[in-house]
Structure 1
Amino acid sequence: MSLLEAEVHISLREFLRHQKQPLWDHHLTMARLVSRALRLDRSALIQTGSTFSRYGLSYLMPCLLSDRPILLVVPLDIQQQLIEQDIPYLQGWLNTNKAIANQEQEVDFTTFKGLLIVSPDVWLGDLLGHRKQIPNDILTLIDQADYLEEWTKDYLTTNIFPDDWSQLQHRYPAYGNLIQEVKLFLEKSIFSHPQNPYRCCLLDKEEKESLSHLCYILHSDPLLEKFAQSFDNKSQLLWASINQEKQSFSIHSTPLDVSSVLAPHLEDSTLVFMGGFLDSQKMAPIYRQTIGLSEDILCLKFFPHRQNELINLYIRDRLPMPNTPEFYRVLIEEVKQLVFSCYEKLNPITIIVDDVPAKAQVATFLAAEFGSQVKVESTQIDDKSILISGWKFWHQNQGKLPNPQLLIIATLPIPSLENPLVAAQVNYCKKQRKDWFRFYLLPTALTELQRAVMPLRESQGIMALLDNRVNYRSYGSSILTALEPYAKIDYIDINFLP
């Protein structure tokens, strides 16, 4: 064992002995792996199977004990916790004074030997933009790397928001009538698309031609110049998001594939990718292909403890399939029985229902009994709340909410082909001759399920899965494997709950 790895191992083991809260089983192994990456400049990919609150210490300790400059890419909410709480506490315990800088500070990399913490947006801006202030050879740790594809798509998306039309008219008064005509045409045409629960639509041929004409006339405008590059690019998706309440729309150009963009920048860098669940397989073939990581790197996948971190999995058999009219009628009865039998013992309760009308029906029914304790897609919840949410809201806000004791899932989070953006991604996969279900839809569902269940493991709570496809579809075994370890229960007996 090398000097750094030995120092980290001894310090971390001593630190863990002084902690009273439950510990993560893999702290020492992950810390040694991160230390090895720091020492040898070797990239690695680590799937922790857990949340940041449990594994974060495993990479912070090597970062603080190393004498080399390190870049840590982490979302802003975690960044704040690191800078204000975790790092000062660890520095004090270790008696170290490693320099800590954030993205707001100027850093002289010719002398800097500390830890620089930046958000994904700042990192991608430097990596893919023209700033190039961060050296290519700095070792980079990416936490929450499960979201890397999503971060990259968001960063590369070009937008025309409602206020941009008036700004265009202000900048180009001579073309005011043309700008107004294009806007009114797009508004009328976009709002004539059939409504869908996803509040978006793909631009049709006439809408693209109208926007393309405006981009051609005002080709010197930086915003429209970016859009002009999208029209002939088959890997770019042109779509509109719709706000029915405000009767407004925004237009977006989003890449369907980020691998070709990221690949050149990942090859020459030393990167440690860390996240709860990146891929169902240890070597992460689908994840690596998705982000363009062709390099053969060390991959490690930790699994939850089979006793201390298992979940209780309740799967109701013989329910109607989600694509049948009977399903949502039976769903309300099932949710009713589960909530009424468990409310006094298991709190808080989260119910994930993606279908908008069904979500409203479940909320109305439960509100009649539990009143203001029922919250629909709200972050203002407490330990007595019953939260009713779609997958998107849960995905975006899960880290801000109390961990549920009972998690009821109405349907598996398999992206719906009725969503225009999902349908476009599937068509792109088909053109690339990829198995669109195994490459895109199923991995997305597995990732969402893993994200949902990881906090549940800390309390050994109950997940009630009401989607019968897990029992009767060929991919059901993949779903169950991703949820391991679990104890399958046929009924919920509150007399034996912890």
Structure 2
Amino acid sequence: MIEVEVHQQLRALLRAQGGNAWPHHLTVARLVARALRLQRSTLMQIGSTAAYQGQHRLSYLASLLLWPEPLILVASAEVQHSLCHVELPRLRDWLGLTKPVCLAQTWPDPNFSGIALFSPQDWLQHRLPQHAPLPPGVPVAIDGAESLEDWTRAHLTQTLLPQDWDALLWAYPTRVETIRDARAALTHTLFRHPPNPYGCLIVAEEDRRLLGHLVDRLQQDSGQSFSGKWQQFTDTLLQPNTLVWAVLDRSQGSFSLNSAPIEVASALQPLWEGRTQILLNGVVDLDAQSEQFQLQLGLADLTCVQFATDRHNEALSLYLPDGVPMPNTPEFAPALMRQLQCLLTLGFAADTFSALIIDDLPLKSRIASTLAAEFGSRVKVEKGDCQVGDVLISGWTFWLEHRRSLPYPNLMAIATLPFPSLENPKVAGRVAYYKQQRQDWFRLYLLPEALRILQEAIAPLRSQSSLLALFDSRVLHRTYGQQVLTALGPYARLNYLDESILIPPQCSV
């Protein structure tokens, strides 16, 4: 059986070359091989640390290379680069295989028997009717499946830019005044809203109807339907599952319109039908069967496997002080400042790199100015050129985008949990949709999103046994706090602070 061959070959490689102590290599390789042989779809939650470091790639790639039939592998550009320059050369040299692997935008050839490596965007194109379909029955493996919902929503987002209105004027010269009046009315409605930090706002139902009415009039007058971007946008405009928002450029007095589906399961269905799926998910779902994850992606009847985080090598030191005021109180900011000053004093004594995650813009600015006055130029606000000894102050988005190019933090301090802000119009729009469906928007959207971001953000800390300081006391006083602590585990909770806990592992006391 292929499981035996994969096990033997990979075990021999690991023994001969060494240098990788991840304990689940052989298990992942056997599970992937078994899924292919039995045509049984499988979801593997490998853990955020293994996904961040790419420890699992050698395992599943060995099974894909030894499988004698064609396969589809979907991975981001960053993962593709690692596969092509690290794992593939290592396996091919050892296994002596000649199975072809090609970077593909469409299926290479009817007789192709290798691995077609797709980007998420190119793979998602095949759900569109006008695109050439993928061969039926070819299994698909997806590395980074926790991002699949975001990939799909971004792929399905339709955008109308200011120049698209100009194109509409040229296409309907007899209706110039109608188009200009509709554009002016929409501009007036959108710009009367006050600015917000997110630069966007939800397009109200009456404005969506205004656009729909404009489209209907132009189609009736011309006797023909729209084409191109306008057609794609208006096709989804009045659907209840669609979120429509505007991005405003107040300096230019212009706006762009965007639409995207809130749920993506129906859009993914054509890509699942008739083929085996192997999903490798980095973020660990607290539910071992990942029922909500399957529902969101339109999956069914999966074998689910969850790998626990290594308690000996990946445990964190968690400083979670009791008595910190709630984040929505005036006392929170002064209390947070005192805690950070204490931590950073210890950190500078140990010469460490520290990351402070503060997403609230006014609070971030206030903390940064105070700390810069005390610690000087070492304090940097969302700058990617940090070194050991610096203190980075950033929001969640900046940290997740730049964490690979930054030093490993010996200290990460988190002001508040990464719940999507209801002040963000796009978040508020999704919450409104869940409310209309009479669904638990907190348990289905806000909490899972916060746990996902939290696990991804702290992944770099685990290999260094770093200190994580969390000052959101809702963890201690809300019913969902235990789920947050489970997502952070394994950890050793600290009730005190001293210099020794921040000294890097390679240093001696």
TM-score bucket of the superposed structures, by smaller chain: over 0.9
Amino acid at match of 1:231: L
Alpha carbons of 1:61 and 1:437: their partners in 2 closer, same or farther (altered >3 Å)? same
1:419-444 alpha-carbon deviations (Å, 9 max, x no partner): 22222222222232322221211111
Alpha carbons of 1:480 and 1:225: their partners in 2 closer, same or farther (altered >3 Å)? same
Q: Which of 7, 13, 22 is the equivalent residue of 2:11?
A: 13
The gaps in structure 1 that reach 5 residues or longer are: none
Alpha carbons of 1:55 and 1:230: their partners in 2 closer, same or farther (altered >3 Å)? same
Provide the secondary structure at the position in 2 that maps to 1:343. Answer: helix
Match of 1:69 in 2: 70
Q: Is 1:441 aligned to 2:446, yes or no?
A: yes
Q: Which of 284, 289, 296 is the equivalent residue of 1:290?
A: 296
Match of 1:78 in 2: 79
Alpha-carbon shift at residue 329 of structure 1 (Å): 2.7
1:358-377 to structure 2, matched below 5 A, reads 358-377=363-382
Alpha-carbon shift at residue 178 of structure 1 (Å): 3.9
Cα distance in 2, alignment partners of residues 184 and 18 from structure 1: 70
TM-score by length of 2: 0.91
1:17-36 to structure 2, matched below 5 A, reads 17-36=15-34
Alpha carbons of 1:19 and 1:331: their partners in 2 closer, same or farther (altered >3 Å)? farther
Cα distance in 1, alignment partners of residues 163 and 404 from structure 2: 32
Tell me, yes or no, if the aligned pair for 1:23 and 1:54 is still in contact at 8 Å: no
Cα distance in 2, alignment partners of residues 426 and 482 from structure 1: 23
1:301-339 alpha-carbon deviations (Å, 9 max, x no partner): 001111111111111211110111221232222222222
Aligned length: 494
Cα distance in 2, alignment partners of residues 132 and 399 from structure 1: 36
Q: Which of 324, 327, 330 is the equivalent residue of 1:325?
A: 330
Cα distance in 1, alignment partners of residues 326 and 289 from structure 2: 34
Tell me, yes or no, if the aligned pair for 1:145 and 1:278 is still in contact at 8 Å: no
Provide the secondary structure at the position in 1 that maps to 2:476. Answer: helix
Q: Which of 35, 38, 41 is the equivalent residue of 2:39?
A: 41
1:318-377 alpha-carbon deviations (Å, 9 max, x no partner): 111011122123222222222232135363322111111111122222333444443333
Cα distance in 2, alignment partners of residues 224 and 45 from structure 1: 38
Amino acid at match of 1:215: V
Tell me, yes or no, if the aligned pair for 1:279 and 1:285 is still in contact at 8 Å: no
Which stretch of structure 1 is more off in the superposition, 216-225 or 93-102? 216-225
Cα distance in 2, alignment partners of residues 360 and 63 from structure 1: 49
Amino acid at match of 1:426: V
Which stretch of structure 1 is more off in the superposition, 10-19 or 177-186? 177-186
Q: Is 1:275 aligned to 2:281, yes or no?
A: yes
Tell me, yes or no, if the aligned pair for 2:208 and 2:238 is still in contact at 8 Å: no
1:283-432 to structure 2, matched below 5 A, reads 283-293=289-299, 295-345=300-350, 347-432=352-437
Tell me, yes or no, if the aligned pair for 2:349 and 2:499 is still in contact at 8 Å: no
Q: Is 1:119 aligned to 2:119, yes or no?
A: yes
Match of 2:58 in 1: 57
Alpha-carbon shift at residue 121 of structure 1 (Å): 0.7
Cα distance in 2, alignment partners of residues 355 and 115 from structure 1: 45
Match of 1:150 in 2: 150
Provide the secondary structure at the position in 2 that maps to 1:239. Answer: strand
Match of 2:222 in 1: none
Cα distance in 1, alignment partners of residues 86 and 251 from structure 2: 41
Provide the secondary structure at the position in 1 that maps to 2:350. Answer: coil
Cα distance in 2, alignment partners of residues 173 and 329 from structure 1: 61
Q: Which of 472, 477, 489 is the equivalent residue of 1:472?
A: 477
TM-score by length of 1: 0.92
